[in-house]
Structures are given as C-alpha cells and as structure tokens.
C-alpha cells in the first residue's frame, strides 16, 4: 500500500519534471540565425530559445541565470563556434549540469565547422585585437553558409532525435530547395553590388563581401573589437578621399556614432544591416534577413549614385 502510493507519487513527480523535456527537442541557439534555421528544419518538433538577440554583441554576453536554466534543459545547443561564444558558453557548459551539451557531444553543434572559414590568422596575439584563432566567426552574412550549415544541422537533429529523422530530412529538402532559389534571386538582385567599395564598422562582413563581391576599403575599428577612435576615423576619412566608398555598413547591435560621423563627412550613406534574424523590421526570418540586406545595400548604392 505504502509502496504503491510512494511509487505513484514518484511517478507524478517525475512526470512533472520529465514532461516538458519530452514534449519537443529543446534547442538553445546561441545566435538568432541558428534559432531561425533550427526552426525551419525542426518545425513543431523543436522548442527553441535564443540566447541572444540581434541587438546584442555575441562576443559580449553574460552567462546570466536565465541562460543557465535553458542550458540545463537543452538537448542541443546550436552555436557559431570559432570562439565567438568563448566568454560565456563554457560557463553554461560547466554549471548547467547537462552532459548532453558538452563539447564533442552530439548535443553541441558548431556551425563554423561546416563552412570554409575566412581570415584564419596564421598567428594570434592579443595586440591584434579580438582575433579568432579559428577564423572570422561571422559566417552568417553569406547565405550559402546557411545552406551548408542547414545540411549539417538536419543531420545533427536526426542524430539527437532519431524518432523524427525523416521529418527533419524532409524539412531540410524543402528548405534547401527554397534556399537555393532564394540565393539565385538575391544574387540576381545584387549583381549591381559587385565591386562596390564599402567601409565596415567591425570586420563582421567578410563573408558577405566574399559572396557579393563587395570591396572592403577600411574598418572603423582600428583593431577588431576596439571601438573607433577619432584619430582612426580621421585616417579612414582621409583614405576615402583617395579611394571613395559607396557606403559605411554596420551590424544592428553596433553603436552608430562612428558610422554617422564618417557618413556625414564622406557624404556616403550609413547603412545598418540586420546582421541576423530580428535585426530589422524586415529580417523576420532567414529569408527576410537577406532580402533586407541586399535591398539596403542596393538602396545605398542608388543613393550614392544619385548624389554624383
């Protein structure tokens, strides 16, 4: 009798804890673009929590209590890697008491491992600023990388949640097709951008430049991760006299003062790109992200052309 009541009590208690975990695959996405991608592939089989929003610098995030709580229940963490999250993800892994998300486990997914990394330094030294030994981590600015990561993530979802593997594969197929068509469309729209000279705030757009054939003339940060100084801004302005650029671009989370300063003096538009999902009104999902990115660059180019 007593045994039975204890057993039923235990069952209720365990059920209360276990239910949310079994309802869907819990995914903690380090950045919103991976949350959006996981949503495309996982549909209603996954429950996604984005650790950061588009207005946060993913380099500088704190291992705050809410993230620890989400890391504790995550079946899968989807992050960029290449040390982008080195300031906070290790703490989540250490303190969450969750073996699934430890490095090397199937529940730890690093997008950067699936793409060709650019700006991989041959040597690293902190005097060079915030450099990443694995290469520039801002891979999501090229939609072709999203396509590559999607393939890997679909496989990983199937590995972590084998019961729904057919579902993930079917979703991936559908997504890949739409994505391919969308990329062709963006590339067609963006054709006039080829060879466009730009100034960037942070060296966060190297993959975008590589994709659309933009030419980066200068960065407002004297060194990666170091805020623009007035001396450096003046140097960039002087450089633009010799080598004019069409626009100065920055991510949604970046302070706009440096860009505005330069834009005003160099008489070029300052463009805030969404950088990730949620970074602008139109960047509601991955498709919107690149729609908006391409449109903003095109309108900057037109604006520059209109002035001359």
Partner 1 sequence: MKVRCIPLLVALTAIPVAASAADDADLRALRDEVARMRQTYEKRIDALEQRLAQAESKAAAAESVAAKAETAAALPPTAPVGANAFNPNISLILSGLYSNLSSDPAGYRITGFHLPSGALADIRPQRGFSLTESELGISANVDQLFYGAMNFAVHPDNTVSTEEAFVQTTSLPQGLTVKAGRYFSGIGYLNEQHAHAWDFIDAPLPYQAFLGGQFNNDGVQLRWLAPTDTYLEIGAELGRGANYPGTGRNKNGSGASAIFAHLGGDVGASNNWRAGLSLLTTSPQDRQWDDIDAVDAPITNSFTGSSKLWIADAVWKWAPNGNTNNTNFKLQGEYLRRIEDGTLVYNSAAAGSYSATQSGWYVQGIYQFAPYWRVGLRTERLDTGTVDYGVNNASLLRPDYAPARNALMLDFNPSEFSRLRLQLAQDKSRQGVTDNQLFLQYQMSLGAHGAHKF
Q: How far is the CB of 69 from partner 1 (least distance, A)?
A: 4
Q: How far is the CB of 62 from partner 1 (least distance, A)?
A: 6
Q: How far is the CB of 249 from partner 1 (least distance, A)?
A: 18
Residues 236-275 that bind partner 1 (CB under 8 A): 253, 255
Q: Which of 13, 69, 166, 174 binds partner 1 (CB under 8 A)?
A: 69
Bridge partners, residue 76, by sequence: 27
Residues 7-26 that bind partner 1 (CB under 8 A): 17, 20-21
Q: How far is the CB of 299 from partner 1 (least distance, A)?
A: 25
C-beta closer to partner 1: residue 77 or 240: 77
Residue 52 lies near partner 1 (rule: CB under 8 A): yes
Q: How far is the CB of 263 from partner 1 (least distance, A)?
A: 19
Helical segments of 84-205, H only: 89-95, 143-160, 165-189
Q: How far is the CB of 211 from partner 1 (least distance, A)?
A: 11
Q: How far is the CB of 196 from partner 1 (least distance, A)?
A: 22
Residue with structure tokens 């869907």?
Answer: 24
Per DSSP, 200 falls in state: E
**Contact between 259 and 250 (Cβ < 8 Å):** yes
Size of the site for partner 1 (CB under 8 A): 59
Q: Which of 27, 84, 88, 236 binds partner 1 (CB under 8 A)?
A: 88
Q: Which of 82, 140, 141, 164 binds partner 1 (CB under 8 A)?
A: 82
Cα(261)–Cα(184) distance, rounded to whole angstroms?
Answer: 35
C-beta closer to partner 1: residue 111 or 271: 111
Q: Is 185 helix (H, G, I), strand (E, B) or coil?
A: helix
C-beta closer to partner 1: residue 229 or 302: 229
x-or-dash string of contact with partner 1, 107-126, rule CB under 8 A: -----xxxxxx--x-----x
Residue 128 lies near partner 1 (rule: CB under 8 A): no
Which is it for the CA torsion 233, 234, 235, 236, positive or negative? positive
Residues 215-234 that bind partner 1 (CB under 8 A): 225-227
Residue 93 lies near partner 1 (rule: CB under 8 A): yes
**Contact between 146 and 211 (Cβ < 8 Å):** no
Residue 102 lies near partner 1 (rule: CB under 8 A): yes
Residue 66 lies near partner 1 (rule: CB under 8 A): yes
Which candidate, 122, 21, 120, 27, places its Cα nearest to that of 71? Answer: 27
| CB proximity list for 206: less than 8 A, separation 6 or greater | 118, 119, 136, 138, 141, 216
Residue with structure tokens 């700006």?
Answer: 119
C-beta closer to partner 1: residue 97 or 306: 97
Cα(233)–Cα(185) distance, rounded to whole angstroms?
Answer: 36
Residue 154 Cα distances to 44, 59, 72, 221, 255, angstroms: 14, 26, 23, 36, 35
Number of neighbours of residue 45 by Cβ within 10 angstroms: 16
Cα(98)–Cα(29) distance, rounded to whole angstroms?
Answer: 16
| CB proximity list for 211: less than 8 A, separation 6 or greater | 141, 142, 143, 144
C-beta closer to partner 1: residue 42 or 147: 147
Binding-site ranges for partner 1 (CB under 8 A): 17, 20-21, 52-53, 55-57, 60-66, 68-70, 72-73, 82-83, 86-91, 93-99, 102-103, 112-117, 120, 126, 129-130, 134-135, 144-145, 147-148, 180, 225-227, 253, 255
């Amino acid at each position: 009798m007593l045994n039975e009541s204890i057993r039923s009590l235990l069952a209720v208690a365990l059920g209360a804890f276990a239910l949310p975990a079994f309802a869907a695959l819990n995914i903690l996405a380090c950045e919103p673009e991976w949350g959006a991608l996981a949503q495309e592939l996982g549909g209603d089989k996954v429950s996604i929590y984005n650790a950061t929003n588009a207005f946060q610098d993913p380099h500088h995030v704190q291992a705050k209590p809410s993230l620890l709580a989400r890391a504790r229940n995550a079946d899968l963490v989807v992050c960029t890697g290449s040390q982008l999250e080195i300031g906070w993800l290790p703490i989540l892994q250490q303190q969450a008491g969750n073996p699934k998300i430890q490095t090397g486990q199937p529940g730890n997914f690093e997008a950067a491992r699936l793409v060709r990394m650019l700006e991989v330094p041959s040597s690293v030294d902190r005097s060079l600023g915030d450099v990443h030994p694995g290469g520039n981590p801002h891979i999501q600015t090229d939609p072709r990388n999203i396509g590559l990561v999607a393939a890997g993530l679909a496989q990983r979802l199937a590995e972590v949640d084998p019961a729904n593997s057919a579902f993930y594969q079917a979703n991936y197929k559908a997504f890949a097709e739409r994505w391919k068509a969308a990329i062709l469309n963006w590339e067609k729209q963006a054709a006039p951008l080829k060879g466009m000279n730009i100034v960037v705030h942070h060296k966060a757009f190297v993959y975008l430049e590589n994709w659309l054939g933009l030419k980066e003339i200068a960065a407002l940060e004297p060194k990666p991760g170091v805020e623009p100084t007035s001396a450096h801004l003046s140097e960039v302005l002087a450089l633009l006299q010799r080598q004019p650029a069409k626009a100065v671009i920055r991510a949604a989370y970046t302070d706009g003062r440096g860009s505005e300063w330069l834009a005003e003096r160099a008489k070029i538009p300052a463009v805030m790109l969404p950088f990730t999902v949620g970074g602008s009104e139109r960047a509601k999902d991955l498709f919107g992200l690149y729609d908006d990115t391409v449109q903003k660059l095109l309108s900057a180019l037109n604006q520059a052309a209109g002035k001359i």
